[in-house]
Structure 1
């Protein structure tokens, strides 16, 4: 759990999507389900998470946002000195659901499969 205060304050304004994207960029990547969303790698790199907002709505005092997250991952090798496997970053994408409590800004995020 984390708090998206600025996004909660910007809800129903023209700046909501931009504010939310900026806050998502500032979230500790360990709090996002990036590892679970991997499709082409086996280790998520959360250095440059970029979000696209797919849908947002308010239901029963909760702001629900469906977002696509773009990030990178790597395929890890055995880390042996003579391992010829190059460490290349692969583009990754997953869709998540952010649920923001309208009163407290407390936010949960889950992977949409």
Structure 2
């Protein structure tokens, strides 16, 4: 389970969004559920992920954050010969950060 201690500590400051986006970018391929959310069945180029905070609220023992993720996706077998096709992708996720432990969980937004 990923942890966002710097984001938790920056909660209610002007640095929160920037800190969270930086911590999300540091997760690497195993930390983001982009492959499950890919509409074309490709794979995400995790070197090109950019996060943006869409909104954040405090809910009891957690901070709930709606996050938009921009990424590139390589789609194979697109009927273009042997060359895979690279497309831009976007998804929105909900992130819950437990205030006590800084542990976080992602879920797809409806």
Same fold (TM over 0.5): yes
How do 1:1-113 and structure 2 match up within 5 A? 1-40=1-40, 42-77=42-77, 84-113=81-110
Q: Unpaired runs of 5+ in structure 2?
A: none
- Tell me if structure 2 keeps the 8 A contact 1:54–1:67: yes
* 1:31 Cα deviation from its structure 2 partner: 1.9
C-alpha distance in 1 between matches for 2:56 and 2:83: 40
Give 1:80's aligned residue: none
For the pair shown, the structure with the greater C-alpha radius of gyration is 1
- Partner Cα distance (2:89, 2:23) in 1: 20
- TM norm structure 1: 0.87
Cα RMSD over matched residues?
1.8
User: Counterparts of 2:18 and 2:62 in 1: how far apart (Å)?
Assistant: 19
TM-score (norm 2): 0.90
Q: How many residues align?
A: 109
Cα distance in 1 for partners of 2:83, 2:74 equals 10
CA distance, structure 1, for counterparts of residue 74 and residue 41 of structure 2: 5
Q: Provide structure 1 residue ranges, at least 5 long, that are not aligned to the other structure.
A: 78-82
Distance 1:22 1:43 in 2: 22
